[in-house]
Amino acid sequence: MRPSSSPSDGLLGGLSGAPDVDAQLSDPAVLQAMLDVEAALARATADAGIVPVPAAEAIAEQCRAERYDPAALGRAADATGNPVVPLVGELTAAVPEHARAWVHSGATSQDVLDTALVLVAVRALGPLLAHLDVAVEAAARLADANRDTVMVARTLGQQAAPSTFGLKAAGWLTGLVQARDRLRQARAAQPAQLGGAVGTLAAFGPAGAEVTERFAAHLGLPPSSLPWHTRRQPWLDLAAALGGLLVAAGKIALDVGLLAQNEVGEVAEGGTGRGGSSAMPHKRNPVDSILVTAAARRGPGLVATLFATAVQEHERAAGGWHAEWEPLLDLLHVTGGATARCARMLTGLQVRPERMRENLDATDGLLLAEAVAARLAPAVGRRVAHDLVTRAAAEPSFRAALLADPEVRAHLSDTELAEALEPYRWLGSAGRFVDRALATVREAGG
């Protein structure tokens, strides 16, 4: 059996990840990021005149992941607590003798692994954000196309009052856009890590500051003002942004799953051949909704782990640092999968306006009770109006009870009552809110 090198390669991993995101999270990808860090370190120290240029180039030449075995490095890591030490040993053996003394010069294992994981995250967020852009565009189209599609709004699990599907989609859209903004900011701010053994870069003498700047530049990352070995704010910002995106996608997935229930039937997921059951041939399960919801349930635990590990002792942590690696990769994995599935779900979502109207009319005008009370209040006062409408709402037919109530009819004509019971007249600023959400996205350029 071929060993799994990517989170999407396994029996279950493909249900929670996205192949293009997971390709950046695989063992070879992490290994290549570590080697990219070693190459950048060699070149940065050469720039500063610390390492001979020929030695730096010889080191960089050997920094190719295909020359090393990730599984073997992982086994060897058990002896030292991290995979950098055995990698440095193999890299040193691979370079010409004249360059061996300069491998990993001035750095510590945490510098390499922290910066490598920054590279992995930045690279994985490229395809993840591309999926998010697709989801944003799909949500915007749904909001625009259904700006005035009337439907039931539900609060505390119950039918409440009229709203529009456009407003619901605009809410989805706004959540995704806000999450995207935070994630873009967190990605752009992920810094290189270089501090040496205790964060002083003593091995570089007075050239330490220059080396850190050149090191970050070679990697295309922003430099850090000082090492962040036990100051883990970059990871916390990233974890919070990923967790927020999972919440935004999870909210959409939960709504879709509820709206797709047979008893509601207001939307359905698209996709031919998807959603089948092993036992019940008639079923068409909302698979993307289910899997995105599952990812959103996993997110808080992973985010919490990264926050829990962030309180670290002195200059280098014993255990807290080590506890971050897999939860960070897992969080990127599940967020990538959730975002890709959210994009697919929204792109193919089937909206059923006729069913929305049927559900809205099913209670014979009861959802317009607030509108009727508002019509009565100027004449009889708010409290009396509320009591009159509450009394009518207790009858089998709300509309018939209003028409038969002399106290109501004394103040509302047939026309006025009909207008009060028309959902389109009780949508408030729903349309304007949709327009506002769409305008915000257009102004942001996508």
Q: Which residues are catalytic?
A: 277, 316
What does the block give as tokens for 43? 């070149």
Instruction: Return the half-sphere exposure (C-beta side, CA atoms, 13 A cut-off) of residue 197.
Output: 5
Contacts (Cβ under 8 Å, ≥6 apart) of 290: 253, 257
Q: Residue ranges of the alpha helices (H) in 48-164? A: 53-61, 70-76, 84-94, 109-145
CB-based burial of residue 443 (10 Å sphere; 0-12 exposed, 13-18 middle, 19+ buried)? exposed
DSSP readout, 220-275? T-PPPSS--TT--HHHHHHHHHHHHHHHHHHHHHHHHHHHTSTTT-SEE---TT-S
Contacts (Cβ under 8 Å, ≥6 apart) of 61: 95
How far, in Å, CA of 169 to CA of 17, rounded? 25
Q: Indicate the length of the chain as a whole number.
A: 446
Amino acid occupying residue 379: A
The CA–CA distances, whole Å, from 417 to 367, 374, 384, 443 equal 14, 11, 17, 42
How far, in Å, CA of 415 to CA of 266, rounded? 30
φ/ψ of residue 325, rounded to 5: -60, -55
Q: CA-based Rg of the chain, rounded to a whole angstrom?
A: 29
The residue assigned the tokens 């997971």 is 22
How far, in Å, CA of 214 to CA of 33, rounded? 17
φ/ψ of residue 234, rounded to 5: -55, -45
Instruction: Return the half-sphere exposure (C-beta side, CA atoms, 13 A cut-off) of residue 229.
Output: 22
How far, in Å, CA of 69 to CA of 87, rounded? 10
How far, in Å, CA of 434 to CA of 431, rounded? 5
How far, in Å, CA of 145 to CA of 31, rounded? 46
- Find out whether 50 and 207 touch, Cβ atoms under 8 Å: yes
